Amino acid sequence: MKPLTFAVLRLLADGEFHSGEDLARKLNFSRASICNALRETDEAGLVLYKIRGRGYRLAEPLQWLDRTKIAATLGAQANRFNIELMDCADSTNTLLMQKAALGAAHGSVIAAELQTHGRGRRGRSWHANLGGALTFSLLWRFNHGVGFLSGLSLAVGVALLRALKSLGVNGTALKWPNDVLHHYRKLAGILIEVQGDVLGPSFAVIGIGINLKLSEQIRNLIGQAPTDVYSITGIVPERNQALGCMLAHLAQVLDIFAARGFGGLRTEWVKHHIYHNKNVRITLADSASEEGLVAGVDDAGALLLKTRGGERRYSAGEISLRAGRSL
């Protein structure tokens, strides 16, 4: 969306009617420019009312991200993060990977109000409406080699579950290797990209998308059954508080991971795995499949599956997971 569209939406964020004349005067643009800018609201998943004699009004108020409010939630941990807020980005992960390669600081964060080409695992797109989600990426540097980062997506899942619980979102579960579910519906996703040397150092860009309140338009674009915080709790958390809470829990869990690897979090992860001790069917990257009983994960985050041919180990990024038949 154009910068003018975001400027107009900030004036409309209160959910009240604003005349085209008033919007044009405040932004020093013509009424025609304001009208044209608001034609882009559909692509952001927003519902806009236009009534002659009253002007424009958003169906629901918008909460905008604010660095000061995020820092207030983080408290003493605020100095661990360098937060950059953007109105619009193709992909926060892509952008932060570029900045990381150029030396961006440990703890750098990019959060976008709207992602136009948000990426999920295995090349899937991540869809979210403006104000209806948190989409951000975090850069975390490690002294270890890239091999040590196996299981990192699972560790991040633990952090998200802890954060969601502190925000009053209960009953969430994890799906190997990188999804947060509620009643088998996707609430949040994780995309991790790593770079570094075999012996270290290395870094990871941790991309996270969390559904807060999805519009019907966006729901229709999502391939798998989604859910959001509003559907679970009946309220939408204040976005700055939610982002600050997520970052605080991520820092705590990543400290554990850096010291002990995924093994230090494995028991907690298994406790919340929605498919633990369940029969599943696994589809591999080459479309071959395997069925078995999920026996847990190892200290590297690989899935352990009991099959007719014995226990097998599958690494993250190779498979998709769906409920299977009894053996």
DSSP assigned state of 36: H
CATH topology for 279-323? SH3 type barrels. (2.30.30)
pTM as predicted = 0.92
19-33 average pLDDT score: 96
**Model confidence pLDDT, tens digit, residues 221-273:** 776 789 999 999 999 999 999 999 999 999 999 999 999 999 999 999 999 99
Q: Are 269 and 157 in contact (CB under 8 A)?
A: yes
Exposure string over 234-263, b if 16+ CB within 10 A, otherwise e:
eebbebbebbbbbbbbbbebbebbbeebbe
* Mean pLDDT value across residues 122-133: 74
> How much is the pLDDT for 239?
96
What's the topology of domain 67-271? Answer: BirA Bifunctional Protein; domain 2 (3.30.930)
Containing 152, the helix (H) or strand (E) segment is helix 152-166
DSSP 223: S
CA neighbor of 309 nearest in space, from 286, 288, 327: 327
* CA 273, chain centre distance (Å): 19
Identity of the amino acid at 223? G
Strand order of the β-sheet with 310-314 is: 310-314, 303-307, 289-297, 279-284, 319-323
Going by C-alpha positions, the residue among 64, 13, 55, 58 that lies closest to residue 34 is 55
According to the model, what pLDDT value does residue 133 have? 93
| Rounded Cα distance, 318 and 170, in Å | 30
With cut-offs at 50, 70 and 90, classify the pLDDT of residue 18: very high
**What pLDDT, on the 0 to 100 scale, is given for residue 225?**
85
pLDDT exceeds 90 at position 192: yes
Cα distance between residue 246 and residue 77, in whole Å: 12
Residue showing tokens 């992602």? 115
Give yes or no for residue 148 having a pLDDT over 60. Answer: yes
Length of the chain: 327
pLDDT at 194 > cutoff 90: yes
Q: Are strands 202-211 and 133-142 parallel, antiparallel or unpaired?
A: antiparallel
Distance CA 128, CA 252 (A): 27
Work out the average pLDDT over 83-90.
95
Tell me the CATH architecture of domain 3-58.
Orthogonal Bundle (1.10)
DSSP bridge partners of 27: none
Assess contact for 37 and 11: CB atoms under 8 A: no
Domain ranges in the chain? 3-58, 67-271, 279-323
| Rounded Cα gap, residues 150 and 78, in angstroms | 27
pLDDT of residue 41: 86
Distance CA 240, CA 136 (A): 12
Mean per-residue pLDDT over the chain, rounded: 91
Kindly indicate the confidence band of residue 127, based on its pLDDT and cuts at 50, 70 and 90. Answer: confident
